[in-house]
Amino acid sequence: QVQLVESGGGVVQPGGSLRLSCAASGFTFTNYGMHWVRQAPGKGLEWVAVISYDENNKYYTDSVKGRFAISRDNSKNTVFLQMNSLRSEDTAVYYCAKGLRTSSVYDAFDFWGQGTMVTVSS
């Protein structure tokens, strides 16, 4: 069965950095785009970033461009989100999500992890 397990969240001061990881299993990781989606406390869903199956394409929401970087290690079935210059408005649960279709980044998300909480506060 598909499993996505996020880790790396925590409390960080404004301006600080965190690196989130998402370990995937139960499917052919190298065939699918992988996404990060976040949810601020009590708020709705916000898509953050995607990386294509072959790492050649990466897209970000405007508010994180230049601060966040998505990457993947296909040998370890893991996707990462490096978050720098963190702001209070980045406080959220960060979910890793699997793209529905092979070889696509324009996708719905058919499996989600349980999420990891990131709190940016002094």
Partner 1 sequence: DIVMTQSPDSLAVSLGERATINCKSSQSLLYDSNKKNYFSWYQQKPGQPPKLLIYWASTRASGVPDRFSGSGSGTDFTLTISSLRAEDVAVYYCQQYYSFPLTFGGGTKVEIK
List binders of partner 1 among 23-82 (CB under 8 A): 35, 37, 44-47, 50, 59-62
**Taking CB under 8 A as the rule, does residue 5 contact partner 1?**
no
Alpha-carbon distance values, 6 to 22, 29, 56, 78, 118 (Å): 4, 15, 23, 10, 11
Q: Among 113, 116, 118, 120, indicate the residue that binds partner 1 (CB under 8 A).
A: 113
**Least gap, CB of 47 to partner 1 (angstroms):** 4
Q: How many residues bind partner 1 (CB under 8 A)?
A: 23
Does 115 participate in binding partner 1 (rule CB under 8 A)?
yes
Per-residue buried b or exposed e for 4-38, using 16+ beta carbons within 10 Å of the residue's own CB: bebebbeebeeeeebebbbbbeebebeebbbbbbb
Under the rule (CB under 8 A), what is the footprint of partner 1?
35, 37, 44-47, 50, 59-62, 95, 100, 106-115
